[in-house]
A and B are shown apart, each in its own frame.
Chain A
Amino acid sequence: MTRELWKGNEAIAEAAIRAGLEGYFGYPITPQTETLEWMSRRMPELGRIFLQAESEPAAINMVYGAACTGARVMTSSSSPGISLMMEGLSYIAGTEVPVVLVDVMRGGPGLGNIAPSQGDYNQICHGGGHGDYHPIVLAPASVQEAVDLVPLAFDLAEKYLNIACVLLDGSIGQMMEPVELPEMRPVVRKEYAWATTGAKDRSRHVLTSIYLEVGLEEEVNLRLLKRWEAIKANEVRFKEYYLDDAEIAVIGFGTAGRVALSAVRAARAQGIKVGLFRPISVSPYPYQQVAALAERVKSLLVVEMNTGQMLEDVRLAVSRRIPIEFYGRLGGVVPFPDEILGEIQRIAKQPPSLEGHPAQRWLERMTAPQR
Protein backbone atom coordinates (compact mmCIF):
# COMPACT_ATOMS: atom_id res chain seq x y z
CA MET A 1 0.00 0.00 0.00
CA THR A 2 1.24 3.47 -0.78
CA ARG A 3 1.35 6.18 1.82
CA GLU A 4 -0.44 9.38 0.98
CA LEU A 5 -0.47 12.70 2.82
CA TRP A 6 -4.02 13.33 4.07
CA LYS A 7 -5.67 15.97 6.18
CA GLY A 8 -7.42 14.34 9.16
CA ASN A 9 -10.93 15.55 8.36
CA GLU A 10 -10.73 14.46 4.74
CA ALA A 11 -9.13 11.13 5.58
CA ILE A 12 -11.96 10.38 8.02
CA ALA A 13 -14.52 11.07 5.30
CA GLU A 14 -12.72 8.92 2.74
CA ALA A 15 -12.27 6.10 5.28
CA ALA A 16 -16.04 6.15 5.95
CA ILE A 17 -16.79 6.12 2.23
CA ARG A 18 -14.46 3.16 1.71
CA ALA A 19 -16.15 1.39 4.63
CA GLY A 20 -19.37 1.36 2.63
CA LEU A 21 -21.07 4.50 3.91
CA GLU A 22 -24.46 4.88 2.22
CA GLY A 23 -25.62 8.21 3.59
CA TYR A 24 -24.06 11.28 5.19
CA PHE A 25 -26.12 14.09 6.71
CA GLY A 26 -24.42 17.08 8.28
CA TYR A 27 -24.04 20.76 8.84
CA PRO A 28 -20.76 22.70 8.51
CA ILE A 29 -18.78 23.83 11.55
CA THR A 30 -15.08 24.57 12.03
CA PRO A 31 -12.79 22.66 12.66
CA GLN A 32 -14.72 19.77 11.11
CA THR A 33 -16.06 21.21 7.85
CA GLU A 34 -13.55 19.47 5.56
CA THR A 35 -15.24 16.16 6.42
CA LEU A 36 -18.57 17.45 5.14
CA GLU A 37 -16.88 19.12 2.18
CA TRP A 38 -15.17 15.87 1.15
CA MET A 39 -18.47 14.00 1.48
CA SER A 40 -20.23 16.60 -0.65
CA ARG A 41 -17.91 15.84 -3.53
CA ARG A 42 -17.36 12.10 -3.17
CA MET A 43 -20.78 10.77 -2.15
CA PRO A 44 -22.73 12.04 -5.18
CA GLU A 45 -20.04 10.87 -7.60
CA LEU A 46 -20.44 7.37 -6.11
CA GLY A 47 -24.23 7.56 -6.35
CA ARG A 48 -24.61 7.74 -2.57
CA ILE A 49 -26.41 10.22 -0.35
CA PHE A 50 -24.87 13.48 0.78
CA LEU A 51 -27.22 15.96 2.36
CA GLN A 52 -26.39 19.27 3.97
CA ALA A 53 -29.21 19.76 6.43
CA GLU A 54 -30.59 23.09 7.61
CA SER A 55 -29.22 22.55 11.12
CA GLU A 56 -27.54 19.99 13.36
CA PRO A 57 -30.85 18.80 14.90
CA ALA A 58 -32.14 18.21 11.38
CA ALA A 59 -28.95 16.36 10.39
CA ILE A 60 -29.02 13.98 13.38
CA ASN A 61 -32.71 13.22 12.85
CA MET A 62 -32.06 12.45 9.18
CA VAL A 63 -29.30 10.10 10.34
CA TYR A 64 -31.80 8.57 12.78
CA GLY A 65 -34.37 7.98 10.06
CA ALA A 66 -31.85 6.60 7.60
CA ALA A 67 -30.37 4.28 10.25
CA CYS A 68 -33.84 2.81 10.79
CA THR A 69 -33.71 1.48 7.22
CA GLY A 70 -30.57 -0.49 8.08
CA ALA A 71 -28.33 1.71 5.94
CA ARG A 72 -24.76 2.51 6.99
CA VAL A 73 -25.01 6.20 7.92
CA MET A 74 -23.12 8.86 9.83
CA THR A 75 -22.80 12.50 10.69
CA SER A 76 -19.95 14.66 11.92
CA SER A 77 -19.75 17.96 13.73
CA SER A 78 -17.78 19.89 16.33
CA SER A 79 -18.62 20.61 19.97
CA PRO A 80 -21.45 23.22 19.74
CA GLY A 81 -22.97 21.28 16.85
CA ILE A 82 -22.74 18.04 18.84
CA SER A 83 -24.61 19.70 21.71
CA LEU A 84 -27.43 20.48 19.30
CA MET A 85 -27.57 16.80 18.30
CA MET A 86 -27.97 15.42 21.81
CA GLU A 87 -31.73 14.93 21.72
CA GLY A 88 -31.47 12.98 18.48
CA LEU A 89 -28.63 10.88 19.86
CA SER A 90 -30.69 9.88 22.87
CA TYR A 91 -33.57 8.88 20.56
CA ILE A 92 -31.16 6.84 18.43
CA ALA A 93 -29.83 5.10 21.55
CA GLY A 94 -33.38 4.40 22.74
CA THR A 95 -34.39 3.03 19.33
CA GLU A 96 -31.34 0.72 19.26
CA VAL A 97 -30.18 1.53 15.74
CA PRO A 98 -26.52 1.76 14.66
CA VAL A 99 -25.11 5.23 13.96
CA VAL A 100 -21.60 6.61 13.66
CA LEU A 101 -20.85 10.09 14.96
CA VAL A 102 -17.61 12.03 14.54
CA ASP A 103 -16.90 14.85 17.01
CA VAL A 104 -13.93 17.09 16.13
CA MET A 105 -13.73 18.91 19.45
CA ARG A 106 -13.04 22.64 19.82
CA GLY A 107 -12.61 25.03 22.72
CA GLY A 108 -15.63 25.67 24.92
CA PRO A 109 -17.95 25.97 26.75
CA GLY A 110 -20.47 27.86 24.67
CA LEU A 111 -19.49 28.99 21.21
CA GLY A 112 -15.93 28.96 22.56
CA ASN A 113 -13.41 29.04 19.75
CA ILE A 114 -12.21 26.83 16.91
CA ALA A 115 -8.96 25.67 18.53
CA PRO A 116 -8.32 22.03 19.56
CA SER A 117 -9.84 20.83 22.85
CA GLN A 118 -10.89 17.66 24.66
CA GLY A 119 -13.69 19.34 26.57
CA ASP A 120 -16.45 17.08 25.23
CA TYR A 121 -15.11 13.95 26.96
CA ASN A 122 -17.84 13.83 29.60
CA GLN A 123 -20.58 14.85 27.22
CA ILE A 124 -19.70 12.11 24.74
CA CYS A 125 -18.56 9.32 27.10
CA HIS A 126 -20.76 9.88 30.12
CA GLY A 127 -24.06 11.14 28.87
CA GLY A 128 -24.99 14.18 26.87
CA GLY A 129 -28.40 13.03 25.84
CA HIS A 130 -30.98 12.10 28.47
CA GLY A 131 -31.60 8.63 29.81
CA ASP A 132 -29.39 5.59 30.42
CA TYR A 133 -27.23 4.82 27.43
CA HIS A 134 -23.54 4.37 26.67
CA PRO A 135 -21.97 5.22 23.32
CA ILE A 136 -18.86 3.40 22.15
CA VAL A 137 -16.21 6.13 21.94
CA LEU A 138 -12.92 5.72 20.08
CA ALA A 139 -10.24 8.40 20.42
CA PRO A 140 -7.55 8.43 17.70
CA ALA A 141 -4.24 10.21 18.27
CA SER A 142 -3.17 10.37 14.62
CA VAL A 143 -4.67 10.59 11.16
CA GLN A 144 -3.80 6.93 10.50
CA GLU A 145 -5.48 5.84 13.71
CA ALA A 146 -8.57 7.88 12.79
CA VAL A 147 -8.64 6.16 9.39
CA ASP A 148 -8.39 2.77 11.09
CA LEU A 149 -11.03 3.53 13.73
CA VAL A 150 -13.75 4.81 11.38
CA PRO A 151 -14.49 1.42 9.74
CA LEU A 152 -14.25 -0.17 13.20
CA ALA A 153 -16.82 2.32 14.49
CA PHE A 154 -19.28 1.19 11.82
CA ASP A 155 -18.63 -2.48 12.55
CA LEU A 156 -19.09 -2.00 16.30
CA ALA A 157 -22.17 0.19 15.92
CA GLU A 158 -23.81 -2.48 13.80
CA LYS A 159 -22.64 -5.41 15.91
CA TYR A 160 -24.06 -3.93 19.11
CA LEU A 161 -26.84 -1.72 17.65
CA ASN A 162 -25.18 1.15 19.43
CA ILE A 163 -23.93 4.66 18.78
CA ALA A 164 -20.22 4.62 17.98
CA CYS A 165 -18.40 7.92 18.19
CA VAL A 166 -14.97 8.81 16.87
CA LEU A 167 -13.76 11.52 19.23
CA LEU A 168 -10.89 13.72 18.15
CA ASP A 169 -9.83 17.34 18.46
CA GLY A 170 -9.34 20.05 15.89
CA SER A 171 -5.61 19.47 15.59
CA ILE A 172 -6.04 15.90 14.31
CA GLY A 173 -8.82 17.12 12.04
CA GLN A 174 -6.65 19.84 10.56
CA MET A 175 -3.25 18.21 10.39
CA MET A 176 -1.77 16.21 7.55
CA GLU A 177 0.04 12.91 8.06
CA PRO A 178 0.99 10.04 5.78
CA VAL A 179 -1.72 7.39 5.82
CA GLU A 180 -2.56 4.12 4.21
CA LEU A 181 -6.25 4.13 3.41
CA PRO A 182 -8.19 0.88 3.36
CA GLU A 183 -9.43 -0.68 0.11
CA MET A 184 -12.86 0.40 -1.08
CA ARG A 185 -15.43 -1.98 0.43
CA PRO A 186 -18.67 -2.41 -1.48
CA VAL A 187 -21.87 -1.02 0.00
CA VAL A 188 -23.59 -3.98 1.65
CA ARG A 189 -27.06 -3.45 3.07
CA LYS A 190 -27.38 -5.78 6.07
CA GLU A 191 -30.58 -7.81 6.39
CA TYR A 192 -31.78 -6.61 9.78
CA ALA A 193 -34.94 -8.24 11.09
CA TRP A 194 -36.05 -4.86 12.45
CA ALA A 195 -35.25 -2.53 9.54
CA THR A 196 -38.02 -0.38 8.11
CA THR A 197 -37.59 -1.23 4.46
CA GLY A 198 -41.22 -1.02 3.27
CA ALA A 199 -43.65 -3.59 4.65
CA LYS A 200 -44.34 -5.39 1.35
CA ASP A 201 -45.66 -8.93 1.95
CA ARG A 202 -44.77 -8.81 5.62
CA SER A 203 -45.99 -7.28 8.86
CA ARG A 204 -44.94 -3.75 9.76
CA HIS A 205 -41.69 -3.08 11.60
CA VAL A 206 -42.08 -0.41 14.21
CA LEU A 207 -39.01 1.40 15.49
CA THR A 208 -39.44 3.84 18.33
CA SER A 209 -37.85 5.23 21.46
CA ILE A 210 -41.19 5.78 23.20
CA TYR A 211 -42.37 3.08 25.61
CA LEU A 212 -45.25 4.49 27.61
CA GLU A 213 -45.59 1.20 29.47
CA VAL A 214 -42.93 1.52 32.15
CA GLY A 215 -42.28 -2.22 32.31
CA LEU A 216 -41.39 -2.26 28.63
CA GLU A 217 -39.09 0.74 29.03
CA GLU A 218 -37.35 -1.03 31.88
CA GLU A 219 -36.84 -4.06 29.61
CA VAL A 220 -35.30 -1.83 26.96
CA ASN A 221 -32.95 -0.35 29.53
CA LEU A 222 -31.93 -3.81 30.75
CA ARG A 223 -31.33 -4.94 27.16
CA LEU A 224 -29.15 -1.87 26.50
CA LEU A 225 -27.22 -2.57 29.68
CA LYS A 226 -26.67 -6.24 28.77
CA ARG A 227 -25.28 -5.15 25.44
CA TRP A 228 -23.06 -2.59 27.17
CA GLU A 229 -21.68 -5.35 29.42
CA ALA A 230 -20.68 -7.30 26.29
CA ILE A 231 -19.07 -4.16 24.83
CA LYS A 232 -17.14 -3.62 28.07
CA ALA A 233 -15.90 -7.20 27.99
CA ASN A 234 -14.83 -7.22 24.34
CA GLU A 235 -14.10 -3.76 23.02
CA VAL A 236 -11.49 -2.15 25.26
CA ARG A 237 -8.57 -0.75 23.29
CA PHE A 238 -5.39 1.07 24.34
CA LYS A 239 -1.73 1.49 23.49
CA GLU A 240 1.30 1.36 25.79
CA TYR A 241 4.70 3.01 25.35
CA TYR A 242 7.87 2.45 27.42
CA LEU A 243 5.94 0.99 30.34
CA ASP A 244 8.03 -2.18 30.92
CA ASP A 245 10.25 -0.75 33.65
CA ALA A 246 8.32 2.47 34.27
CA GLU A 247 7.95 3.95 37.74
CA ILE A 248 5.78 6.82 36.52
CA ALA A 249 3.00 6.34 33.97
CA VAL A 250 1.48 9.20 32.02
CA ILE A 251 -2.11 8.64 30.90
CA GLY A 252 -3.58 10.69 28.07
CA PHE A 253 -5.86 10.13 25.10
CA GLY A 254 -5.85 11.57 21.60
CA THR A 255 -3.66 14.62 21.06
CA ALA A 256 -2.81 15.00 24.77
CA GLY A 257 -1.56 11.39 24.61
CA ARG A 258 0.67 11.97 21.62
CA VAL A 259 2.08 15.22 23.02
CA ALA A 260 2.82 13.28 26.22
CA LEU A 261 4.73 10.72 24.12
CA SER A 262 7.25 13.45 23.19
CA ALA A 263 7.57 14.41 26.87
CA VAL A 264 8.02 10.76 27.91
CA ARG A 265 10.82 10.30 25.38
CA ALA A 266 12.53 13.50 26.57
CA ALA A 267 12.25 12.32 30.20
CA ARG A 268 13.61 8.89 29.26
CA ALA A 269 16.60 10.64 27.66
CA GLN A 270 17.24 12.16 31.11
CA GLY A 271 17.06 8.73 32.75
CA ILE A 272 13.58 9.05 34.25
CA LYS A 273 11.73 5.74 34.19
CA VAL A 274 8.45 6.89 32.71
CA GLY A 275 6.01 5.40 30.21
CA LEU A 276 2.75 6.28 28.52
CA PHE A 277 -0.66 4.58 28.60
CA ARG A 278 -2.93 5.89 25.86
CA PRO A 279 -6.58 4.76 26.00
CA ILE A 280 -8.04 4.36 22.50
CA SER A 281 -11.50 3.28 23.60
CA VAL A 282 -12.42 5.96 26.13
CA SER A 283 -15.84 4.36 26.42
CA PRO A 284 -15.69 1.53 27.36
CA TYR A 285 -12.81 2.86 29.46
CA PRO A 286 -9.84 0.56 30.14
CA TYR A 287 -10.52 0.53 33.90
CA GLN A 288 -8.97 -2.91 34.47
CA GLN A 289 -5.82 -2.04 32.55
CA VAL A 290 -5.39 1.23 34.43
CA ALA A 291 -5.98 -0.60 37.73
CA ALA A 292 -3.30 -3.15 36.75
CA LEU A 293 -0.98 -0.29 35.78
CA ALA A 294 -1.41 1.16 39.26
CA GLU A 295 0.00 -2.10 40.65
CA ARG A 296 3.14 -1.74 38.52
CA VAL A 297 4.08 1.95 38.79
CA LYS A 298 4.60 4.30 41.73
CA SER A 299 2.66 7.31 40.49
CA LEU A 300 0.48 8.50 37.65
CA LEU A 301 0.24 11.72 35.67
CA VAL A 302 -3.01 12.33 33.80
CA VAL A 303 -2.75 14.83 30.93
CA GLU A 304 -5.79 16.25 29.15
CA MET A 305 -6.92 19.26 27.14
CA ASN A 306 -9.75 19.85 29.62
CA THR A 307 -10.18 20.35 33.36
CA GLY A 308 -9.67 16.71 34.26
CA GLN A 309 -12.66 14.84 32.86
CA MET A 310 -10.92 11.52 32.12
CA LEU A 311 -9.02 12.02 35.38
CA GLU A 312 -12.19 10.92 37.21
CA ASP A 313 -12.19 7.61 35.29
CA VAL A 314 -8.55 7.09 36.21
CA ARG A 315 -9.33 7.85 39.87
CA LEU A 316 -12.19 5.34 39.74
CA ALA A 317 -9.85 2.67 38.39
CA VAL A 318 -6.95 3.42 40.74
CA SER A 319 -8.88 4.20 43.91
CA ARG A 320 -6.30 5.49 46.41
CA ARG A 321 -3.62 2.90 45.76
CA ILE A 322 -1.03 5.27 44.28
CA PRO A 323 -0.78 9.06 43.97
CA ILE A 324 -2.09 10.77 40.84
CA GLU A 325 -1.16 14.18 39.46
CA PHE A 326 -3.03 16.07 36.78
CA TYR A 327 -1.97 18.52 34.10
CA GLY A 328 -4.50 20.18 31.80
CA ARG A 329 -4.65 22.99 29.27
CA LEU A 330 -7.98 24.56 28.53
CA GLY A 331 -10.03 26.56 26.12
CA GLY A 332 -8.24 25.50 22.95
CA VAL A 333 -4.66 25.54 24.25
CA VAL A 334 -2.60 22.49 23.22
CA PRO A 335 0.19 21.71 25.71
CA PHE A 336 3.79 21.68 24.50
CA PRO A 337 5.88 18.61 25.43
CA ASP A 338 8.09 20.80 27.66
CA GLU A 339 5.17 21.52 29.98
CA ILE A 340 4.44 17.81 30.45
CA LEU A 341 8.16 17.09 30.80
CA GLY A 342 8.23 19.62 33.64
CA GLU A 343 5.42 17.75 35.40
CA ILE A 344 7.21 14.40 34.94
CA GLN A 345 10.43 15.88 36.37
CA ARG A 346 8.54 17.32 39.32
CA ILE A 347 6.91 13.95 40.09
CA ALA A 348 10.24 12.11 39.69
CA LYS A 349 11.85 14.47 42.21
CA GLN A 350 9.00 14.62 44.71
CA PRO A 351 6.36 11.87 44.61
CA PRO A 352 2.91 13.47 44.81
CA SER A 353 0.50 13.16 47.69
CA LEU A 354 -2.23 10.57 48.11
CA GLU A 355 -4.24 13.21 49.93
CA GLY A 356 -6.46 15.81 48.29
CA HIS A 357 -7.64 16.01 44.69
CA PRO A 358 -5.15 16.10 41.80
CA ALA A 359 -7.23 18.60 39.81
CA GLN A 360 -7.40 20.93 42.82
CA ARG A 361 -3.62 20.88 43.20
CA TRP A 362 -3.25 21.54 39.45
CA LEU A 363 -5.68 24.46 39.61
CA GLU A 364 -3.67 26.00 42.43
CA ARG A 365 -0.46 25.66 40.41
CA MET A 366 -2.15 27.05 37.28
CA THR A 367 -3.55 30.10 39.01
CA ALA A 368 -0.63 30.83 41.35
CA PRO A 369 0.88 34.30 40.75
CA GLN A 370 3.84 34.00 38.35
CA ARG A 371 7.14 34.62 40.08
Chain B
Amino acid sequence: MQTEIIIAGFGGQGVMFAGQVLAYAAMDKGEEVTWIPSYGPEMRGGTANCTVVIADEEIGSPLVKNPPASIVMNLPSYDKYEPLVKPGGVLVVNASMVDRGAKRDDITEIFVPANDIAEEIGDRRLANMVAAGALIACLPILSIEDLEAALEAHMPGRHKRLLPKNYEALRKGAEFATEHARKAK
Protein backbone atom coordinates (compact mmCIF):
# COMPACT_ATOMS: atom_id res chain seq x y z
CA MET B 1 0.00 0.00 0.00
CA GLN B 2 1.56 3.29 -1.09
CA THR B 3 0.24 6.85 -1.40
CA GLU B 4 2.02 9.74 -3.08
CA ILE B 5 1.21 13.41 -2.48
CA ILE B 6 2.55 16.47 -4.29
CA ILE B 7 2.14 19.88 -2.64
CA ALA B 8 2.93 22.92 -4.77
CA GLY B 9 2.74 26.69 -4.56
CA PHE B 10 4.74 29.91 -4.34
CA GLY B 11 7.82 29.98 -2.15
CA GLY B 12 6.64 31.24 1.24
CA GLN B 13 3.20 29.60 1.16
CA GLY B 14 4.42 26.83 3.44
CA VAL B 15 4.21 23.97 0.95
CA MET B 16 7.44 22.40 2.24
CA PHE B 17 6.28 22.57 5.84
CA ALA B 18 2.85 21.13 5.00
CA GLY B 19 4.62 18.18 3.38
CA GLN B 20 6.85 17.73 6.41
CA VAL B 21 3.85 17.63 8.73
CA LEU B 22 2.42 14.78 6.63
CA ALA B 23 5.81 13.04 6.69
CA TYR B 24 6.16 13.36 10.46
CA ALA B 25 2.62 12.08 10.98
CA ALA B 26 3.28 9.07 8.75
CA MET B 27 6.58 8.30 10.46
CA ASP B 28 5.02 8.50 13.92
CA LYS B 29 2.39 5.99 12.77
CA GLY B 30 5.19 3.59 11.91
CA GLU B 31 4.93 3.98 8.14
CA GLU B 32 7.81 4.35 5.72
CA VAL B 33 7.92 7.86 4.29
CA THR B 34 9.98 10.08 2.01
CA TRP B 35 9.79 13.87 1.67
CA ILE B 36 11.65 15.42 -1.21
CA PRO B 37 11.63 19.11 -2.11
CA SER B 38 12.25 20.90 -5.34
CA TYR B 39 15.45 22.57 -4.24
CA GLY B 40 16.33 24.80 -7.16
CA PRO B 41 16.36 28.59 -7.41
CA GLU B 42 12.56 28.44 -6.97
CA MET B 43 13.25 28.41 -3.23
CA ARG B 44 13.92 32.13 -3.64
CA GLY B 45 10.61 32.90 -5.33
CA GLY B 46 8.57 31.26 -8.06
CA THR B 47 6.90 27.90 -7.64
CA ALA B 48 8.11 25.32 -5.17
CA ASN B 49 6.89 21.81 -4.56
CA CYS B 50 7.52 18.75 -2.47
CA THR B 51 6.61 15.11 -2.91
CA VAL B 52 5.65 12.91 0.04
CA VAL B 53 5.48 9.13 -0.37
CA ILE B 54 3.89 7.08 2.40
CA ALA B 55 4.10 3.28 2.27
CA ASP B 56 4.11 0.17 4.42
CA GLU B 57 7.29 -1.20 2.80
CA GLU B 58 10.71 0.07 1.62
CA ILE B 59 10.02 3.01 -0.67
CA GLY B 60 11.45 2.94 -4.17
CA SER B 61 11.15 6.19 -6.09
CA PRO B 62 10.73 9.29 -3.92
CA LEU B 63 9.38 11.12 -7.00
CA VAL B 64 6.16 10.39 -8.81
CA LYS B 65 4.76 11.68 -12.06
CA ASN B 66 1.06 11.03 -11.47
CA PRO B 67 0.19 11.44 -7.79
CA PRO B 68 -3.18 10.19 -6.50
CA ALA B 69 -3.31 13.22 -4.19
CA SER B 70 -2.12 16.79 -4.56
CA ILE B 71 -2.48 20.29 -3.11
CA VAL B 72 -1.99 23.34 -5.34
CA MET B 73 -1.73 26.68 -3.59
CA ASN B 74 -1.60 28.97 -6.64
CA LEU B 75 -2.58 29.16 -10.31
CA PRO B 76 0.78 28.14 -11.89
CA SER B 77 0.80 25.02 -9.70
CA TYR B 78 -2.84 24.30 -10.57
CA ASP B 79 -2.04 24.57 -14.28
CA LYS B 80 0.97 22.28 -13.84
CA TYR B 81 -0.49 19.55 -11.63
CA GLU B 82 -4.17 19.37 -12.62
CA PRO B 83 -3.33 17.31 -15.75
CA LEU B 84 -0.94 15.06 -13.76
CA VAL B 85 -3.18 13.82 -10.94
CA LYS B 86 -3.98 10.13 -11.36
CA PRO B 87 -7.55 9.45 -12.58
CA GLY B 88 -9.74 8.96 -9.54
CA GLY B 89 -7.37 11.04 -7.43
CA VAL B 90 -7.92 14.09 -5.23
CA LEU B 91 -6.77 17.64 -5.93
CA VAL B 92 -7.13 20.33 -3.29
CA VAL B 93 -7.11 23.75 -4.96
CA ASN B 94 -6.49 26.95 -3.02
CA ALA B 95 -9.50 28.82 -4.39
CA SER B 96 -8.24 32.08 -2.87
CA MET B 97 -5.42 32.15 -5.41
CA VAL B 98 -7.05 30.52 -8.44
CA ASP B 99 -9.53 32.21 -10.76
CA ARG B 100 -10.64 29.34 -12.95
CA GLY B 101 -12.70 26.18 -12.67
CA ALA B 102 -11.76 22.53 -13.11
CA LYS B 103 -10.76 21.20 -16.51
CA ARG B 104 -11.10 17.54 -15.49
CA ASP B 105 -14.04 15.50 -14.31
CA ASP B 106 -12.22 12.20 -13.66
CA ILE B 107 -10.64 13.45 -10.42
CA THR B 108 -12.14 15.02 -7.30
CA GLU B 109 -11.20 18.70 -7.21
CA ILE B 110 -11.86 20.45 -3.95
CA PHE B 111 -11.83 24.25 -4.06
CA VAL B 112 -10.90 25.53 -0.62
CA PRO B 113 -10.52 29.28 -0.03
CA ALA B 114 -7.49 28.51 2.12
CA ASN B 115 -6.21 32.09 2.43
CA ASP B 116 -9.65 33.41 3.39
CA ILE B 117 -10.21 30.69 5.99
CA ALA B 118 -6.69 31.29 7.34
CA GLU B 119 -7.38 35.01 7.64
CA GLU B 120 -10.61 34.29 9.50
CA ILE B 121 -8.57 32.27 11.99
CA GLY B 122 -6.26 35.23 12.29
CA ASP B 123 -3.09 34.37 10.33
CA ARG B 124 -2.77 34.19 6.56
CA ARG B 125 0.24 31.90 6.95
CA LEU B 126 -2.07 29.08 8.08
CA ALA B 127 -3.39 28.59 4.53
CA ASN B 128 -1.09 25.58 4.14
CA MET B 129 -2.61 23.86 7.17
CA VAL B 130 -6.15 24.61 5.93
CA ALA B 131 -5.27 22.92 2.63
CA ALA B 132 -3.55 20.01 4.41
CA GLY B 133 -6.68 19.51 6.54
CA ALA B 134 -8.83 19.48 3.40
CA LEU B 135 -6.62 16.87 1.75
CA ILE B 136 -6.45 14.61 4.79
CA ALA B 137 -10.27 14.64 5.05
CA CYS B 138 -10.23 12.90 1.65
CA LEU B 139 -7.37 10.45 2.31
CA PRO B 140 -7.72 7.34 4.48
CA ILE B 141 -4.00 7.07 5.29
CA LEU B 142 -3.80 9.78 7.95
CA SER B 143 -6.27 11.51 10.24
CA ILE B 144 -6.46 15.11 11.48
CA GLU B 145 -5.50 13.72 14.91
CA ASP B 146 -2.33 12.21 13.40
CA LEU B 147 -1.37 15.60 11.98
CA GLU B 148 -2.11 17.36 15.26
CA ALA B 149 0.01 14.85 17.15
CA ALA B 150 2.84 15.35 14.64
CA LEU B 151 2.69 19.13 15.03
CA GLU B 152 2.72 18.79 18.80
CA ALA B 153 5.63 16.33 18.77
CA HIS B 154 7.87 18.00 16.21
CA MET B 155 7.20 21.73 16.28
CA PRO B 156 10.09 23.48 18.03
CA GLY B 157 9.30 24.69 21.56
CA ARG B 158 9.30 28.35 20.59
CA HIS B 159 6.43 27.74 18.18
CA LYS B 160 4.27 25.73 20.58
CA ARG B 161 1.99 28.69 21.25
CA LEU B 162 0.95 28.53 17.59
CA LEU B 163 -0.38 24.98 17.93
CA PRO B 164 -4.07 25.81 18.72
CA LYS B 165 -4.39 27.94 15.59
CA ASN B 166 -2.71 25.25 13.47
CA TYR B 167 -5.18 22.70 14.83
CA GLU B 168 -8.04 25.06 14.05
CA ALA B 169 -6.75 25.52 10.50
CA LEU B 170 -6.50 21.75 9.95
CA ARG B 171 -10.05 21.24 11.27
CA LYS B 172 -11.57 24.11 9.30
CA GLY B 173 -9.94 22.77 6.14
CA ALA B 174 -11.21 19.26 6.84
CA GLU B 175 -14.73 20.52 7.59
CA PHE B 176 -14.79 22.54 4.40
CA ALA B 177 -13.67 19.53 2.33
CA THR B 178 -16.18 17.18 3.96
CA GLU B 179 -18.99 19.67 3.35
CA HIS B 180 -17.84 20.12 -0.25
CA ALA B 181 -17.78 16.36 -0.81
CA ARG B 182 -21.29 16.02 0.67
CA LYS B 183 -22.66 18.73 -1.63
CA ALA B 184 -21.02 17.10 -4.65
CA LYS B 185 -23.07 13.94 -4.00
Contacts and interface: CB of A to CB of B under 8 A. Distances in A.
A176 B34 contact: yes
B33 A177 contact: yes
Interface in A250-286: 258-265
B63 A176 contact: no
A114 to B, nearest CB: 6
B40 interface: yes
Contact of B61 (A3, A113, A178, A337): A337
Contacts of B140: none
B61 A262 contact: yes
B35 A176 contact: yes
B128 to A, nearest CB: 17
Contacts of A261: 58, 60-61
Contact of B36 (A3, A171, A264, A338): A171
A5 B24 contact: yes
A169 to B, nearest CB: 11
Contacts of B61: 258-259, 261-263, 336-337
Given A5-B24, A338-B65, A262 B34 contact: no
A136 to B, nearest CB: 25
A98 interface: no
B32 interface: yes
B64 interface: yes
B60 A260 contact: yes
A170 B63 contact: no
Given A31-B39, A178-B33, A259 B27 contact: no
Given A3-B27, A5-B27, A336-B65, A174 B60 contact: no
Interface string B23-47: 1100100001111110110000000
B88 interface: no
B29 to A, nearest CB: 11
A5 B23 contact: yes
Contact of A114 (B33, B34, B39, B154): B39
Interface residues of A, number: 26
Given A259-B61, A338-B65, A176 B23 contact: yes
Nearest to B64: A336
Interface in A112-150: 113-115
B20 interface: yes
A58 B32 CA distance: 40
A337 B65 CA distance: 9
Contacts of B40: 113-115
Given A31-B39, A114-B40, A115-B40, A337 B60 contact: yes
Given A260-B60, A262-B61, A338-B65, A178 B39 contact: no
Contacts of A184: none
B62 interface: yes
Contacts of B33: 5, 177-178
A113 B39 CA distance: 11
Interface string B131-175: 000000000000000000000001000000000000000000000
Interface in A304-338: 334, 336-338
Contacts of B34: 175-177
A258 B60 contact: yes
A149 to B, nearest CB: 16
Interface in B1-34: 20, 23-24, 27, 32-34
B32 A178 contact: yes
11 contacts: A5-B20, A170-B39, A171-B36, A171-B63, A175-B36, A178-B32, A259-B60, A259-B61, A261-B58, A336-B61, A338-B65
Which 5 residue pairs are nearest across A and B when measured between Cβ atoms?
A262-B60, A261-B60, A175-B36, A176-B35, A259-B61
Given A5-B35, A261-B60, A336-B63, 20 more contacts: A5-B33, A31-B39, A113-B40, A175-B36, A175-B37, A176-B34, A176-B36, A177-B33, A177-B35, A178-B33, A258-B60, A259-B60, A259-B63, A260-B60, A262-B60, A263-B60, A263-B61, A264-B60, A336-B61, A337-B60
